[in-house]
Amino acid sequence: MMIVFSLIMYFCGLMVFVMKRKHLLLMLLSLEFIIISLYFFLFLNLSFYNYENYFSMIFLTMSVCEGVLGLSVLVSMLRIFGNDYFQSFNMLW
């Protein structure tokens, strides 16, 4: 039952990621939601098979690095362009 819940969470996050593709902040939030659902699914599978949870700690470390990198891109984009729209991020103009 919980595995189905984590898959529903994943597809809801994926749907929000596709629908809100104009704002960088909403895309980052939906990516973090997808990461949380994948971590939940991974934790359930590792607990079900009685494996060690070291891989889940490595996964959390990498997801935190991904989140920090996304926030730094967001802050840089806000300082340069003044908003988080991808329309203003076009470098060819």
Residue 80, amino acid: I
Q: pLDDT at residue 3 above 90? A: no
Question: Long-range CB contacts (< 8 A, 24+ apart) of 1-8?
Answer: 2/40, 2/44, 3/41, 3/44, 3/45, 6/37, 6/38, 6/40, 6/41, 6/44, 7/37, 7/41
Give the DSSP per-residue string, 15-81: HHHHHT-SBHHHHHHHHHHHHHHHHHHHHHHHHHTT--SHHHHHHHHHHHHHHHHHHHHHHHHHHHH
Tens of pLDDT along 27-73?
999 999 999 999 999 998 888 888 888 888 899 999 999 999 999 98
pTM: 0.85
Q: Is 70 exceeded by the pLDDT of residue 89?
A: no
All domains in the chain, ordered by first residue = 2-89 (1.10.287.3510)
